[in-house]
Amino acid sequence: MRIAGAASAFPKHYYPQAVLLAALREYWRGKIENPRMLDQLHAHAGVDGRHLVLPLDRYYDLQTFGECNRVWIDAAQELGERAIHCAMARAGLDLSQIGALFFVSVTGIASPSIDARLINRMKLPTNLRRTPIFGLGCVAGAAGVARAADYVRAYPDQVAVLLSVELCSLTLQREDISLANMVSSGLFGDGAAAVAVAGAEVKRPEGARCGPEILATGSVFYPDTEDVMGWDISEKGFRIVLSREVPEVVREHLGPDVDALLAAHGFERGDVGSWVLHTGGPKVLEAAEDSLGLKNGEIQASWDCLRRVGNLSSASVLCVLEDVMLNRRPPPGTLGVLAALGPGFCSEVVLLRW
């Protein structure tokens, strides 16, 4: 089974970090005890700019969670359709070949879920298996790839598609002046990504460029870490829970989690020549480098993705994967690792061979 194609899709509205900072500084004028703290947080976010699902001035019109969620429902379908079309085209596959659709998001909710709406919108096969997943947050990109791999292992003649849509700007609580919310205001952006995973028996056109083979996947849950990251959900919507402990949790666990999966399949960390990691933020990426002993630019693709578009929650690691597949493809036979961490707290690791 292979990752046959990957593609991102972004809203048309893109703003430099300085423009976003100026808008927040004006909105929170007189509410933040130390305004310079906001400037420092944005300056240290490692982000040049971000896509937003709406023009900046439209956010002032959103007064309720319901209004934000309706924007999410509409935009998720448009971005999701674009991402799936592009991922399948790059894979050399037809939409009629999709046997399963996994949808992940943590920035909006819908029933019928977005995957159901896309079947109607895109005329997808009506007998495909749908699995909408909510609540995994940043780890859901890697987890979704793993679940898609599980599916095509059972059905090797089928294609499973993973779609992630994260519109983080719609979750920003403008009355919340906590440190966690100010950090997130400088870090998170909007976007979507899709990945097509093809079973071993799926026939593809001659000359279609192959993506990496999925060798194995691993999931690790860290007991009693619910307060590290997540949402405090109320009638106002999603209020960010973001502990200062996140980098330390990453530093403590990611290396051992990767080593355990590698050892189970006869490999060592030194055998890995390609790394696709979630773009959690500068401190998280530094912690990942420390935990994995990476000091020579091995995760530059993740740093570059963070700089270009910010943290896209579950879509981030998929955008890094897309960049590696298009622009930084390692030599054939190279062992790779795709990994992310998120609420739970937990990790998902996917072992690849390019």
Q: Which residues are catalytic?
A: 138
Distance CA 283, CA 317 (A): 16
Residues paired with residue 242 on neighbouring β-strands, in sequence order: 229
Distance CA 282, CA 110 (A): 32
Those residues with Cβ within 8 angstroms of residue 304's Cβ, 6 or more apart along the chain or in another chain: 323
Those residues with Cβ within 8 angstroms of residue 69's Cβ, 6 or more apart along the chain or in another chain: 108, 109, 110, 170, 237
CA trace torsion 87, 90, 93, 98 (10° rounding): -10
Give φ, ψ of 70 to 5 degrees.
-65, -35
Residue 41 in tokens: 């947080």
Cα 103–109–114 angle (5° rounding)?
Answer: 40
CB of 335 closer than 8 Å to CB of 267? yes
Q: How far is CA 217 from CA 77, 142, 227, 310, 316, in A?
A: 29, 9, 26, 26, 18
Which DSSP category does 139 fall into? G
